[in-house]
């Protein structure tokens, strides 16, 4: 994995290069005249990529020499668990697979029946259930505002579901007594938004990002479910690959073989439809919606498709600053704060 720092001209050259060779852009940092991108480069194009950055004098460094080596070390950990004869106790500090996660969620519901309710909100293309965890200290049927949180819409971003499960465990409090955070509001959490893709990253392709739906007229599979909603569907937006187009004004294609393919139409994916139906059934109660992704230290709020601000951007900015301060107070590193369009697609 390389980290590149480029001026606008060099960025345009990179975009041209990426039209011929597939680059996997992982993260970008905001900047005015300069753009920094972390890019995963496949072994077979490493030499031509190095020649390219040298030829155009692009400032670069190697962030991770052998990415596959890191992936393999995760894999060993997973398979060691699977091969042990007795079922190990569920660990919040490991990357668990779908079945283990679902079993954990059922156990949480059984051990805290008054506090926790587990709901299936739909099924994936491969017929896995989509689970949502409700945590509420109110009496059943009370209609308090809730925080909606999801994770794992991008299959390979494993830290998201792991974080969502950790948040669930912390919200239970001691002896199912919950915490201050549930005093006035409820929590509705979808820890694994894209189980099909997630399982695929465990069994076949660690770098898979999309769902696993079958598409017409192509052998490529899956849709970026986070680009499958109907709001400004198909427009360039908060994807770093798309941002390169956006910055260079070439426009994004809707190529089903790309990792950020928006789908044949809005809500083509059952996961997106299930989420839409759930949200619309109780939209007025939603106080805050948070979607967990990786990587990059960003606290992003709308919009992604345009650099215009929402009418309530100040509220979200203030909230993000409070979250950032809380992170720093706990010894964490500061995050960048801003709209997705500002942070991911800095204009040059
Ligand atoms: Zn993501």
Distance 55 CA to ligand 1 centre (A): 32
Q: What is the pLDDT of residues 208-264, one digit of tens each?
A: 999 999 999 999 999 999 989 998 887 754 455 555 544 443 334 578 888 888 899
Distance 174 CA to ligand 1 centre (A): 32
Distance 96 CA to ligand 1 centre (A): 18
Distance 160 CA to ligand 1 centre (A): 9
Distance 226 CA to ligand 1 centre (A): 8
Distance 221 CA to ligand 1 centre (A): 18
**Nearest-5° Cα angle at 115, 110 to 120:** 65
Distance 157 CA to ligand 1 centre (A): 6
Alpha carbon distances (Å) from 94 to 31, 47, 75, 89, 91? 35, 35, 11, 11, 6
Distance 304 CA to ligand 1 centre (A): 13
Q: What is the location of CATH 3.40.630.10 in the chain?
A: 93-296
Given a contact cutoff of 8 angstroms between Cβ atoms, the answer to whether 99 and 198 are in contact is no
Tens-digit pLDDT string for the chain (348 aa) = 899 998 888 888 887 887 777 777 776 665 567 888 888 888 888 999 999 999 999 999 998 888 888 877 775 555 444 455 556 789 999 999 999 999 999 999 999 999 999 999 999 999 999 999 999 999 988 999 999 999 999 999 999 999 999 999 999 999 999 999 999 999 999 999 999 999 999 999 999 999 999 999 999 999 999 989 998 887 754 455 555 544 443 334 578 888 888 899 999 999 999 999 999 999 999 999 999 998 778 999 998 878 889 999 999 999 999 999 999 999 999 999 998 887 775 432
Distance 253 CA to ligand 1 centre (A): 19
Q: Given this structure, which CATH class describes domain 93-296?
A: alpha beta
Distance 118 CA to ligand 1 centre (A): 24
Distance 294 CA to ligand 1 centre (A): 6
DSSP code per residue over 132-162: EEEE--SPTT----EEEEEE-SSTT-THHHH
Distance 197 CA to ligand 1 centre (A): 12
Distance 209 CA to ligand 1 centre (A): 8
Give the environment of ion ligand 1: residues with CB less than 5 A. Answer: 154, 157, 293
Given a contact cutoff of 8 angstroms between Cβ atoms, the answer to whether 21 and 256 are in contact is no
Joined tokens for residue 151: 């994770």
Q: What is the crossing angle of helices 98-111 and 159-171, to 10°?
A: 10
DSSP code per residue over 23-73: -EEEEEE--SS-EEEEEE--GGGHHHHHHHHHHTT-EEEES-S-HHHHHHH
Distance 138 CA to ligand 1 centre (A): 33
Distance 11 CA to ligand 1 centre (A): 22
Residue recorded with tokens 């001209």: 9
Distance 256 CA to ligand 1 centre (A): 18
Prediction ipTM score: 0.99
Distance 154 CA to ligand 1 centre (A): 5
- Give the 3-state secondary structure of residue 217: coil
pLDDT score at 266? 94
Distance 155 CA to ligand 1 centre (A): 8
Question: What whole-number distance in Å separates Cα of residue 246 and Cα of residue 164?
Answer: 32
Distance 153 CA to ligand 1 centre (A): 7
Residue recorded with tokens 């009418």: 311
Distance 56 CA to ligand 1 centre (A): 30
Distance 336 CA to ligand 1 centre (A): 16
Distance 3 CA to ligand 1 centre (A): 19
Distance 177 CA to ligand 1 centre (A): 33
Q: What is the location of CATH 3.30.70.340 in the chain?
A: 1-65
CATH 3.30.70.340 fits 1-65, yes or no: yes
Distance 238 CA to ligand 1 centre (A): 10
Question: What whole-number distance in Å separates Cα of residue 261 and Cα of residue 215?
Answer: 11
pLDDT score at 247? 44
């Amino acid at each position: 994995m390389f980290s590149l720092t480029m001026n606008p001209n060099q960025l345009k050259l990179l975009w041209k290069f990426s039209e011929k060779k597939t680059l996997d852009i992982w993260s970008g940092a905001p900047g005015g005249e300069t753009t920094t991108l972390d890019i995963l480069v496949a072994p077979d194009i490493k030499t031509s990529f190095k020649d390219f950055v040298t030829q155009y004098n692009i400032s670069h460094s190697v962030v991770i020499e052998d990415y596959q080596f890191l992936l393999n070390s995760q894999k060993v950990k997973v398979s060691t668990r699977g091969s042990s004869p007795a079922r190990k106790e569920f660990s919040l500090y490991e990357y668990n697979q779908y079945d283990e996660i679902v079993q954990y969620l059922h156990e949480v519901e059984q051990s805290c029946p008054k506090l926790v309710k587990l709901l299936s909100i739909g099924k994936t293309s491969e017929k896995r259930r989509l689970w949502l965890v409700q945590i509420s200290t109110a009496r059943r049927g009370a209609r308090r505002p809730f925080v909606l949180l999801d994770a794992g819409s991008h299959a390979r971003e494993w830290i998201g579901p792991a974080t969502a499960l950790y948040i669930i465990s912390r919200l239970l409090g001691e002896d199912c007594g919950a915490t201050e955070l549930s005093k006035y509001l409820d929590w509705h959490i979808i820890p694994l938004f894209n189980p099909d893709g997630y399982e695929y990253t465990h069994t076949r392709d660690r770098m898979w990002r999309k769902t696993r739906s079958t598409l017409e007229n192509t052998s490529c599979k899956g849709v970026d479910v986070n680009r499958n909603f109907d709001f400004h569907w198909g427009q360039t937006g908060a994807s770093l690959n798309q941002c390169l187009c956006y910055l260079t004004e070439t426009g994004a294609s809707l190529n089903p073989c790309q990792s950020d393919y928006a789908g044949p139409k809005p809500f083509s994916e059952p996961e997106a439809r299930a989420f839409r139906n759930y949200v619309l059934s109780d939209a007025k109660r939603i106080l805050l919606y948070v979607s967990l992704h990786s990587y990059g230290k960003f606290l992003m709020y709308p919009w992604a498709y345009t650099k215009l601000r929402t009418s309530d951007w100040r509220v979200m900015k203030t909230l993000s600053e409070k979250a950032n301060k809380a992170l720093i107070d706990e010894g964490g590193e500061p995050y960048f704060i801003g709209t997705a369009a500002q942070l991911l697609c800095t204009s040059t």
